Chains A and B, each alone.
Chain A
Amino acid sequence: MIFGILVNEGPYQHQASDSAYLFAKAAIEEGHTIFRVFFYHDGVNNGTRLATPPQDDRHIPNRWSELANEHNIDLVLCVAAAQRRGMVDPDEMKRNKKDADNIAEKFRISGLGQLIEAGVQAERLITFGD
């Protein structure tokens, strides 16, 4: 089965990102494919490389990056949601004349069309959030 995943909530505040990660990991282990993980609303905050959770806690952004590295998963932050919330990649940094970027490894910023495409291409699109 080809899955698309939509994460609508930020890390730590809400279980959505944890559940999405555990689902994606379990699906891959069972031989399924993740077409894309799309992060929307506060979900874009999952893509910051500047998070420093306590050492005895899970590192949510790093965990996504590692999963993407191991299994070549497409992690996409919505550009409109990212701009509002200060999530910046090197291109956005230049375009909006910011003095830094903060995107974690293997995440990229792109348009909402990527979410629609996931809806069309995946056999199931699963939303994690309230």
Chain B
Amino acid sequence: MEEELESGVVKKFLYINRRAPHGTVYAHEALEVVLIGAAFEQDVSLAFIDDGVFQLKKDQDTSEINTKNFSKIFAALEMYDVEKLYVERESLESRGLKEDDLSVDVKVIDSSEMKKLITDSEVIFNF
């Protein structure tokens, strides 16, 4: 169901992921928006703050909770030309995580840089 826009307008899209990957459907369905949105040739960035940083945690295994392990999809985002992933340093640190614990390449930025990223974005999805 690929849809295209003929307007030629390119906006700065920012997907802010704030929630843990499991427990609610928000993170999973957010990723579905990112994948569909990738077809629209917009300027896309993803931000991970608060419990959202857990979405990128390596070696997730959801077999015991009978849900889809969608964390593997993050590694495929590059193929969709979604390459700008930003993780807030304070969120990582306060959860005892390091960049090495993450499954994909990201740019770790501090909260003031995150604020700037949000301010500079034109269309913000907050999941």
B93 contacts A by Cβ under 8 Å: no
Partner among B3, B36, B125 whose Cβ is within 8 Å of the Cβ of A127: B125
Asked if B11 is at the interface (CB within 8 A of a chain A CB), the reply is yes
In angstroms, Cα B3 to Cα A40, docked, is 18
Q: How far is the CA of A24 from the CA of B5 in the complex (A)?
A: 25
Determine the chain B residues whose CB is within 8 A of the CB of A80 once the complex forms: 29, 32
Partner of A120 from the list B2, B39, B42, B126 (CB cut-off 8 Å) is: B42
**Chain A hits for B39, CB < 8 A:** 113
- What separation, in Å, do the CA atoms of A8 and B123 have in the docked complex? 16
Query: How many of chain B's residues have a CB under 8 angstroms from any CB in A?
Result: 23
Majority DSSP secondary structure for residues of B touching A: mixed
A60 within 8 A of B: no
A121, CB-defined interface residue at 8 Å: yes
Q: Considering the chains assembled together, what is the distance between the CA atoms of A8 and B30 in angstroms?
A: 11
List which A4-41 residues lie within 8 A (CB) of chain B: 6, 8, 40-41
CB of B123 within 8 A of CB of A117, answer no
Binding site for B on A (CB under 8 A): 6, 8, 40-41, 79-81, 111-117, 119-121, 125, 127, 129
Residues of B in contact with A (beta carbons under 8 Å apart): 1-3, 5, 7, 9, 11, 13, 25-26, 29, 32-33, 36-37, 39-40, 42, 123-127
